[in-house]
Structure 1
Amino acid sequence: MKKPDFYPAMSRNSEKNVDGLKTSDLTLNLVEGGLRLQGAGKESLPKMPLISVITVVYNGVGYIDETILSVINQSYKNIEYIIIDGGSDDGTVERIRKYNDYIDYWISESDSGMYDALVKGFTLVNGEIVCYLNAGDYYHHNALAVVAEIFDSYDVEWLAGMRVNYNENSQVIHADLPSVYRKELVRAGVYGKFLPYIQQESVFWRKSLLDLVDYAYLKKMKLAGDYYLWYCFAKSTDLNIVNSYLGGFKYHANQLSSSIEKYNDEKLLFVEGPRLYYFPLIMFEAVFWFFPVRLKVLFSKKYFIYSRERKMWIRG
């Protein structure tokens, strides 16, 4: 397979080593591998859209295995998995290398931060559906099967599942079904500030939505890059919700509580800010979050629930 011009790592001066991987000269400090370098390629199939999963990591040797295994062991098999490592020196690269024959493409080189790495991943995806999963977080075994069925069956561009949190022992410690995410409130920066956050680990979207994103702006961000994506997507489409556990966020001992304040400060650089007349709506939505699932589904057609009679996911 001819290597496309847009693979930045593949335009480097590199030599193939005995493992079938490519290692650049020491000045570039670049290592890459995966199925693409072996000539393999993937595409969407009838009833099986290709889902591209990106993982970005830097010195995550204690977390990366669990994340990788949650992707490559999915019950759904038409997956393109890309890992962008920021030049780890703690053994992370060696862990990634173990799964070389299960990862479509991975690269390890220095970068300017998480969202610089994520943008690199976005430029590499071929999938019809895109998502990203940070090292330490992981998907439910059947998550991508749910996602593929809904995107293939309905005119959906942007989808979120239940919000799930894990503790340091990978035990689920919280799960809830989100309320309706309103486009105007997403653009106003309300979620994560006045209303519960949109959980990135459970969000999936069509690749076409990335055309709305300014990559040059995104790659400079430090904390709120996920919300910048939601802000861009909300200019075009609604965020639908499926009543299913797809993925979750894992708490780590080195996470700082002050990061939430810094996260919201960074959001203020691009969101529109809540207008005065939004606050009654925000108050109503705050109460709506506590409604049982049946009432949420009754009040909105943005929900997908599973019909046991029809044996398929349907709009609520």
Structure 2
Amino acid sequence: MDQRKLMRFTQGAGLLSCPVCGEPLLLEGTALRCAAGHSFDIARQGYVNLLAGAHRSQGYDRASFEKRRQVFSSGIYDDIAQEVCRIVADLAEGKTAENDKPLRVLDAGCGEGYFARTVAHKTAAQVAAFDISKDSVQLAAGTDADDGVIWFVADLAAIPVRDHTIDCVLDIFSPANYGEFRRVLAPGGFVVKAIPTEHHLHELRERASDQLAHDDYSNTRVIEHFKESCELLATRRVTRTQELDPEALDALLAMTPLLFHVDRAAIDWSDVCEVTVEADILLGRFT
């Protein structure tokens, strides 16, 4: 195994807990082990499967995550990623000034790893990324050329991380488990959540409106739930409209959950020349 991929798991010292018994996990050779003897091998791609049993995310498979990677490579989500990085960089600067330690970031629902990789590359934070999909984490770890992230397959309803060891949770276009976020966050820790707005992918929504159960969308309920769960400190809206080549558009049509239950072949997409992505990025803290 690539020694660099192996050694990045030393970042997990004091962070991880055994999904079987809850004891701390430590790096021993090419595996993570607990005192009770439970062992989890580091795969050659550079990730660890901490998930008991087989799980599959509905609507997502390896092909779907490869489409997601193709869409992210187009640059259409870069502005959202850069805003997340600015927030994390500010938090990391404050953390370092406070106790000279790096900011520990947990990406909950990392998918194919675009946002985790970008944050690790653009900030001084240490990033641990988790997803329930083995396909997504395999792809993420295998394409992490900088070896800047530690990758895990895990149950996000029972994150295998010790209590109060994380400084910032990223929840980017993913369902939130605020109970788990509260548990893993250190006192004063932060949640950074990105959610689509009513204008997100509106060109696709309008074209598919006849097949959508609800052709309108509002993120108001998601924001209210966030505010009920933690203190909302700031909201930043990021918008980008960009032309996509036919290959990138096809990839977007295949990967977006908006169209999972739509007969895409029955719709003429040929004159969709540009697409808008828009997100509200929420910064919160538990009180």
Task: Normalising by structure 2, report the TM-score.
Answer: 0.36
More strand by share: 2
Task: Normalising by structure 1, report the TM-score.
Answer: 0.34
